[in-house]
Structure 1
């Protein structure tokens, strides 16, 4: 595991522990609400686990927090170089997102990649909105029961709390820019 990812997972663990303790929620209660085992939650809090993005979304939904709440962002001008950031992987390592920015507590920006011939599904907090920009190739998006074929530079916006699936049917990786907007800051 890369050193940058170790630092990222340690940061996530420390912030999760702080949020959970500030809300006076035990590991057992969070495990029950999130459907993530107490053992896994403990390892995440100690920075010993490499949590998948799916597990992090479960925890965020259970705590009703934004994913960026588990990260620490400095208030300054920052440049993010392509492929230089640590990232969160999907369960099969065929999807990843790089957390980039959190703006005024209501919007998060991510760079994402979906591997060739793969798909990834997720949903976010109630009342959230997601916007996806396709940077190369083509992507099929399933939002609820509807399918949308997107080409390079196409943008789709939809309710983030609805189950949605990113589908790459090509033989090349597809890169995306994602933003998540929330009704109110956490």
Structure 2
């Protein structure tokens, strides 16, 4: 069995920097509330030192966070296999959607529209939706406008408008969708 080389110092430092910035604290402010020197905090954030558990506890108390917040690591890679079950179905079991990822305010979904069916929805004000047709043909009605989309066609529209996905064919239509919410 081959072991992975994990840069724990770098990951702890990255977590610390992200948490400190999200709390809008300077290194100096964190040094004052944690009793850890600004120099040491800077070295930890840059991954130049391997802090002791005692130092990590002081930092966590100063930030008012659990220790696990500094020690938790997300994988850089996630894989969602095609053909896996969809997690949510429309009320007539003709529309299926599988939430995949959420990154930088954008949610990614895989969708499927059953043969000879349609599904309507609208999202929060200020949202933007992008749809990529992976196979077949899709009719997409956004507000009063109707768009005929073929395989690999992409459309972007305001998600707050009522939109209807329509499949006139005898085959399932698969889609990739992204939904981005902007702050008003």
Question: Does the TM-score normalized on the shorter chain lie above 0.5?
Answer: yes
Distance 1:117 1:151 in 2: 16
Which residue of structure 2 aligns with residue 16 of structure 1? none
Distance 1:183 1:137 in 2: 31
Q: Which one is further off, 114-123 or 80-89? A: 80-89
Which residue of structure 1 aligns with residue 135 of structure 2? 136
Distance 2:102 2:85 in 1: 15
Which residue of structure 1 aligns with residue 159 of structure 2? 160
Tell me the TM-score normalized by structure 1. 0.57
Shift in Å at residue 84 of structure 1? 1.8
Shift in Å at residue 86 of structure 1? 4.3
CA RMSD of aligned residues (A): 1.6
Which residue of structure 1 aligns with residue 178 of structure 2? 179
| 4+ residue segments displaced more than 2 Å | none
> Computing the radius of gyration over CA atoms, which structure comes out larger, 1 or 2?
2
Which residue of structure 1 aligns with residue 83 of structure 2? 83
In the alignment, is residue 99 of structure 1 matched against residue 99 of structure 2?
Answer: yes
Aligned counterparts, 1:5-24, within 5 A: none
Stretches of structure 1 that go unaligned for 5 or more consecutive residues are 1-73
Shift in Å at residue 75 of structure 1? 3.4
1:132 counterpart SS class = strand
- Size of the aligned set, in residue pairs, is 111
Distance 1:159 1:75 in 2: 31
Check conservation: 2:135, 2:150, Cα contact below 8 A. Answer: yes
Question: 1:75 and 1:182, CA in 2 relative to 1: closer, same or farther beyond 3 A?
Answer: farther
